[in-house]
């Protein structure tokens, strides 16, 4: 009986060990089975972070057209192709969408013609209509659909010139005053910082005569052949006794392209497209 009792005890101990190992081995397996849960959640969090970044580039190309590349803010779509006047290197100003509400400061800020001129100058010269030294008044209208036109005026050393635009819908107009590089130069800062100026004044602070360029901006295209604007030029010197023939109007980024629609009036000339020199 003793040997059988001893064998029974051995088998009972062995069975107990197997039972204990089974009971003790279960929880670790269950614990390992639960680990993938948090890992999957972690992977989802990592995948969700780049998602907005991957969507951002797809929306950017639609925001890079036209002036937005030149920091003009939210503006209508612009043309991608530029044209040159036949036989010249002068650019045809591209069109803007017509302004249909009275322009405010925000609109003028987005309609950055100085940046437009810099951009156009990469292709060719900017068209400008020279104003004769004896011209006191001219009637004209802007190029459509560009909505603006530039004029060049010669100013002697120490001379002061005042330019004023007049129209029945003056609240839609403004004047810009720039130098040969299409930027406000010395003596032009007051006009540059003014809000929607319709009258600009320039005094030549240099040591030699120079040309200044006045841009008439009419984004709503109110001026036309039937209702042109009037540009009044007031000088503090006598054009008859002041020689400004040495002043070059075609300089920097400007190319002379006389306006065929302009009519000049002065002491010694009148009529359309009259240029003393």
Q: Which pLDDT value is given to residue 193?
A: 81
Do residue 132 and residue 257 come from a single domain? yes
CA distance 217 to 51: 45
Residue 109 lies in a domain: no
Q: Which pLDDT value is given to residue 104?
A: 93
pLDDT digits (tens, 9 = 90+) for 116-162: 999 999 999 999 999 999 999 999 999 999 999 999 999 999 999 99
Do residue 261 and residue 130 come from a single domain? yes
Count the Cβ atoms, other than its own, within 10 Å of residue 22. 9
pLDDT digits (tens, 9 = 90+) for 19-70: 555 545 544 344 433 433 333 333 333 232 222 233 333 333 333 333 333 3
Q: Which pLDDT value is given to residue 189?
A: 84
Q: Are 132 and 277 in contact (CB under 8 A)?
A: yes
Predicted confidence (pLDDT) at residue 190 exceeds the cutoff of 50? yes
- The tokens describing 231, both together, are 């540009």
Domain count, the chain: 2
Predicted confidence (pLDDT) at residue 246 exceeds the cutoff of 70? yes
Q: How many CA atoms lie within 13 A of 193 on its CB side?
A: 5
Q: Running DSSP on this structure, what letter comes out for residue 233?
A: E
Is residue 31 classed as helix, strand or coil in its secondary structure? helix
| 205: containing domain | 126-267
DSSP run (H or E) holding 214: strand 210-217
| Average pLDDT over every residue of 230-255 | 94
CA distance 176 to 114: 9
CA distance 26 to 4: 33
Residue 121 lies in a domain: no
CA distance 105 to 111: 10
Do residue 253 and residue 140 come from a single domain? yes
- How much is the mean pLDDT over the chain? 77
Q: Which pLDDT value is given to residue 82?
A: 87
DSSP run (H or E) holding 144: none
Residue 6 lies in a domain: yes
CA distance 186 to 157: 13
CA distance 275 to 264: 9
Domain stop point among 48, 65, 86: 48
Length of the chain: 277
CA distance 32 to 21: 17
- The tokens describing 201, both together, are 């004044």
**CATH number assigned to the domain comprising residue 238:** 2.60.120
Residue 18 lies in a domain: yes
pLDDT digits (tens, 9 = 90+) for 59-98: 333 333 333 333 333 444 455 578 999 999 999 999 999 9
Q: How many CA atoms lie within 13 A of 225 on its CB side?
A: 4
When pLDDT is cut at 50, 70 and 90, the band that residue 8 belongs to is: low
Residue 68 lies in a domain: no
Do residue 130 and residue 260 come from a single domain? yes
Q: Please state the separation of Cα 178 from the chain's center in Å.
A: 17
Residue 262 lies in a domain: yes
Residue 74 lies in a domain: no
Residue 146 lies in a domain: yes
pLDDT digits (tens, 9 = 90+) for 198-242: 999 999 999 999 999 999 999 999 999 999 999 999 999 999 999
């Amino acid at each position: 009986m003793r040997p059988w009792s001893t064998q029974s005890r051995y088998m009972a101990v062995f069975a107990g060990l197997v039972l204990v190992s089974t009971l003790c081995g279960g929880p670790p397996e269950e614990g390992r089975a639960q680990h993938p849960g948090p890992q999957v959640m972690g992977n989802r969090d990592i995948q969700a972070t780049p998602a907005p970044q991957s969507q951002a580039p797809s929306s950017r190309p639609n925001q890079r057209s036209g002036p937005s590349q030149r920091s003009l803010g939210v503006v209508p779509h612009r043309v991608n192709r530029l044209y040159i006047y036949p036989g010249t290197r002068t650019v045809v100003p591209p069109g803007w969408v017509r302004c249909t509400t009275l322009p405010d400061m925000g609109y003028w800020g987005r309609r950055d013609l100085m940046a437009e001129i810099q951009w156009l100058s990469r292709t060719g010269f900017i068209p400008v209509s020279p104003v004769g030294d004896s011209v006191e008044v001219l009637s004209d209208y802007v190029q459509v659909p560009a909505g603006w036109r530039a004029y060049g005026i010669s100013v002697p050393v120490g001379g002061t010139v005042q330019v004023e635009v007049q129209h029945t819908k003056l609240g839609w107009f403004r004047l810009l005053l720039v130098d040969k590089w299409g930027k406000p130069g010395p003596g032009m800062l007051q006009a540059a910082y003014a809000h929607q100026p319709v009258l600009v004044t320039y005094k030549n602070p240099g040591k030699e005569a120079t040309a200044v360029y006045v841009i008439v901006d009419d984004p709503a295209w109110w001026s036309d052949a039937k209702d042109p604007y009037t540009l009044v030029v007031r000088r503090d010197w006598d054009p008859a006794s002041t020689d400004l023939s040495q002043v070059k109007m075609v300089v920097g980024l400007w190319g002379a392209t006389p306006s065929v629609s302009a009519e000049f009036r002065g002491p010694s000339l009148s009529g359309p497209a009259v240029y003393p020199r």
